[in-house]
Chains A and B, each alone.
Chain A
Amino acid sequence: MHAAILETMKERMLPEGGEACVSHRTLVLTVPPECVFDAARRLKAEFAFDLFLDVTAVDWLGQTPRFEVVYHFYSTSHKIRVRLKTRVPETDPVVDSLVALYGAAGFMERECHDMYGIVFRGNPDLRPILLYEGFEGHPLRKDYPKRREQPLVAFRK
């Protein structure tokens, strides 16, 4: 049953300018950034991927486009997962937000913005969630040194 659904998805979701493959029994779709919202909408409407699991990013420092935004969805009826990937450049790291489709996207996009600086167009609230006001930079980027602390309170002595 898994294989049949994966095949159907591969054919119907095969995006323009993108690719599909299967990695460790998960279907991975790569789309250009403009098509992300549409692909997610189709996944939700046509294939019943109703649970939004995760959005995160990978920093491929040295490559252009630099950031790879990765989404995971789960279908509670078919019981499979799908991974949706897209690449955004460092100069314009903007992707459409999925808050219109899934409420869960709100906090997770905030975290991705905090950590990597990916701007989710359409998310009304991109305040820092894991970091604090006044933190400069995006710590999970590869060029942010791990030990660079930005203390809010002056140290004693």
Chain B
Amino acid sequence: MDRAPIPIRPVNSRHPAFEYFSTKKDELVGWARKFSLFPYPFVTACCAMEFMAVSSTPYDTDRFGAALPRFSPRQSDLLMVVGTITHKQAPVLLKVYEQMCEPKWVMAFGACATSGGFYQNYAAVAGIDKIIPVDIYVPGCPPRPETVIDAIMKLQDRIARAHHPIVTETF
């Protein structure tokens, strides 16, 4: 075959073979990443009870690969903000988010993390997306475990369909 070798750093990234391999690589990496989520349960309030329930029998998150929590931000990739974030806790949340390595996703678990819930006063942050970018919002006060599992599955779909540059910025 006297075709030019496929460059790792393509000048022209529209070569069809490159696109094909890139897509296949994205599918493989997406599949691996979505089924090996390591959540960091940033737990504060009542939603913690539902988080405990969804992590154990019978609503097991282990079926989705998202069961093993890692309480170090360096070792986790899914930041689950479970419960109300107050202004006092906000610097802590931002610090934990910034310490996490890419790729990382954020789940706003519960009404308080999504929008402040019904605590619209001086103390609570009205939604964590005022502080960190959020990938998926889970409504409910607290959300039923089925809602959380639905959210994990939607997040997994998004991860599966995303572009995962692992070698360079484009591949």
Contact = CB atoms under 8 A, between A and B. Distances in A.
B90 A149 contact: no
B94 interface: yes
B87 A150 contact: yes
Contacts of A153: 87, 90-91, 94, 131
B122 A139 contact: yes
Given A144-B122, A146-B121, A147-B122, A156 B130 contact: yes
A152 B121 contact: no
A64 B121 CA distance: 28
A151 to B, nearest CB: 5
A151 B132 CA distance: 14
Given A144-B122, A152-B91, 10 more contacts: A145-B122, A149-B87, A151-B125, A152-B87, A152-B90, A153-B91, A156-B129, A156-B130, A156-B132, A156-B133
B88 A131 contact: yes
A144 B121 CA distance: 11
23 contacts: A131-B88, A139-B122, A139-B123, A146-B121, A146-B122, A147-B121, A147-B122, A148-B122, A149-B87, A149-B122, A149-B123, A150-B122, A151-B87, A151-B90, A152-B87, A152-B88, A153-B90, A153-B94, A155-B130, A155-B131, A156-B129, A156-B132, A156-B133
A119 B120 CA distance: 28
A135 to B, nearest CB: 8
Interface in A59-83: none
Overall SS of chain A's interface: loop
Interface residues of A, number: 15
A150 B125 CA distance: 10
A127 to B, nearest CB: 13
A115 B125 CA distance: 19
Interface string B114-146: 000000111101000111110000000000000
A132 B121 contact: no
A156 B133 CA distance: 9
Interface in A105-157: 131-132, 139, 144-153, 155-156
A146 B119 CA distance: 10
Contacts of B88: 131-132, 152
Contacts of A144: 122
A147 B121 CA distance: 4
B21 to A, nearest CB: 36
**Among B87, B91, B94: residue with most chain A CB under 10 A:** B87
A71 to B, nearest CB: 25
Contacts of A155: 130-131
A147 B120 CA distance: 7
Contacts of B91: 152-153
B137 to A, nearest CB: 15
B87 A132 contact: yes
B54 to A, nearest CB: 28
A156 B125 CA distance: 12
